[in-house]
Amino acid sequence: MSKMTLAQKIGQMLQVERATCTAEEVKKYHLGSVLSGAGSSPKNNTPSDWLEMIDSYWCASVESDDEHLSIPILYGVDAVHGNNNISGATIFPHNIGLGAARDSELIKKVSKVTTKEVMACGIDWVFAPNVALAQNYHWGRTYESFSHTPEIVNRYTTNIIEEMQFDFPHQGIIAGIKHWVGDGGTIHGIDQGDTILDWPSLESTHVAPFKQAIKSGAMTVMASFSSWNGDKCHGHKFLITDMLKTKLKFNGFVLSDMEAIDYLSNDIYQSIGISVNAGIDMFMLPNNWKEFIEHLHSHVELGTVEMDRIDDAVKRILSVKVHYGLFDKVRPTLRKMSNNQSFGSNEHREIAREAVRKSLVLLKNKDNILPLNKSSRILVTGKNADNLGHQCGGFTIDWQGVTGNELIKNGTSIWQGISKIAANAKHIKDVENENDYSMFDAAVVVIGEHSYAEGMGDIRNGNDLLIQSGSMVNGELNIIKPYGKTLTLADLHPEDYQTIKHLTDNNVPVITVLISGRPLIIESELSASAAFIAAWLPGSEGQGVSDVLFGTHDFQGKLSFPWPQRDENLPTYKSNQYSPSNKIKPLFEYGFGLQYKN
């Protein structure tokens, strides 16, 4: 650091999106990190394409001369359920499904595979795990949460960090814990909204997983887009500096979320000063990063940001790079795990298949209709029966996910998994055109949500709640079009109930498989079904569903969230204290899950 100029220090504080910077600019501006936002990929999106791209950034960053020091970049991605950006990767169930599995050893295996597939592409750093405690299912990021209580999240967090950061400086990747803090507790479940709690309540719930993460060796933490009691977390010195860094003794560095500082003020110059002084160390800025450099220079020159604050940020960043062994690593293409043949391998997919079957929760099994006989005549239908994109959900190939099977390479849809086991199964997309239902013993109907991510997954009936919440927040309001207006599945996706009803009207018993990123209000669909399975967002290995449908394996999953009867059953906030409404009992309690052997 004694050799570094102010320009070099400010450059280390930047993480720039690959699409907005060249390798030459990495060197010219001394950039500390490059990322691929979800869906941002090179060429044909293969591991070799990623290695070639990252290699060029790396080589530029370590090329030294009289004006440039050799400081390697960190390359980061959102690998939140496998290395999900990259074609052919093994895609695991999203966190909500893994939470239902209640299996710490499974989490270790999932994290190990993810780490290997990330290293195969030359990537150093992942923005995972998300340790949010989702408290309201209207939140579009509910599926990124393992549970609404710290118990499961704390246990999983340690396992994930230890598996990812397993052999520094020789192997492993850097885990990025997110989001600091309280994003799962916003009122009305609004993404980027406001969590209204006193500090003791915040600390006992939403802060608890971060304590565990720091104890387990977490080296990076991403700040939350949300606010706490009206003040945005990205500008919150008390939360970032006083609590996270000082009280919790976090010695790593704090990363901003994508463009999040832009919403601190309508003046970007002021936003930069606020966020740096609050304690943000590295800034994820895809577009206005050159403006950031200019403005931060000005802040230092004018004394509105002290040089000590710059030095603290850079020291933290460089310390993480040193601890990770970055200065001793060879270029990405020459690393031991680069382009490793295990990427997307059958061995990895078998672990994902295990994760699928262990995450499924059996909610109903009338007259023991399950398990199905492999020789039975089974009709398979529903919009999500043969749709790998919907099965994988958001943060898969693209930010909002994809639709259909074309872009999810080497995966298996639920229908494809059934067809491999049941010779007499038949897939019919439009059951209303079928004339003879007497030929079927039962129907497996795969229904539920489309893919979504972040605020575009919010459930919100109009913008009045958003505006009401935003009016209490100091800063800019980011209005995003929501997924829908209601959690009631029959209203959100009426085609699902229509399909079930059509089959039951024709005397075909229905086994419903729900693909969703959260518990939904399912009264109509549940009542009409002989059996009902919450499959969450199972990922690329749909045959894990058929494994339990036909009894090769028993159900293991237990709800890591209580399942509500209706919207009024959801958590509410009273007197700045979180408390679940107890006026209406949940439809299914936390921990519920049937098994064949019971």
User: How many Å separate Cα 41 from the centre of its chain?
Assistant: 18
Helix axes 268-278, 289-302, angle to 10 degrees: 70
Selected catalytic residue, list 454, 525, 541, 547: 454
- Per-position DSSP letters for 153-201, written without gaps between them: HHHHHHHHHHHHTSSTTTS--EEEEEEETTGGG-GGG-TT-EE---HHH
What element of type H or E holds 349?
helix 346-359
Longest dimension (CA), the chain: 81
Q: Give the Å distances, CA to CA, from 198 to 149, 189, 201, 228, 233.
A: 18, 18, 6, 9, 15
Cβ 394 vs Cβ 535: under 8 Å: no
Q: Give the Å distances, CA to CA, from 333 to 47, 221, 339.
A: 10, 27, 8
Q: Find the radius of gyration of the CA atoms of the chain.
A: 24
Joined tokens for residue 437 = 């239902």
Is 257 an annotated catalytic residue? yes
Strands of 87-148 (E only): list them: 125-126
For residue 379, count CB atoms less than 10 angstroms from its CB and return exposed for 0-12, middle for 13-18, buried for 19 or more: buried
Pick from 94, 3, 84, 1: which is nearest to 516 by CA? 94
Sheet with 227-228: strands ordered across: 194-195, 227-228, 231-232
The DSSP bridge pattern shows strands 125-126 and 174-180 to be parallel
Q: Give the Å distances, CA to CA, from 275 to 7, 178, 264, 531, 544.
A: 18, 17, 8, 51, 45
Cβ 95 vs Cβ 130: under 8 Å: yes
Is 454 an annotated catalytic residue? yes
Joined tokens for residue 67 = 């004006």
Selected catalytic residue, list 17, 103, 163, 257: 257
CA dist., res. 391 & res. 412, Å (int): 10
CA dist., res. 46 & res. 41, Å (int): 9
Q: Three-class SS of residue 389?
A: helix
CA dist., res. 447 & res. 169, Å (int): 46
DSSP state of 72: P
What element of type H or E holds 60?
helix 47-61
Pick from 342, 446, 385, 351: which is nearest to 101 by CA? 351
60 CB-near residues (< 8 Å, 6+ apart)? 23, 24, 26, 27
Catalytically active residues are: 257, 454
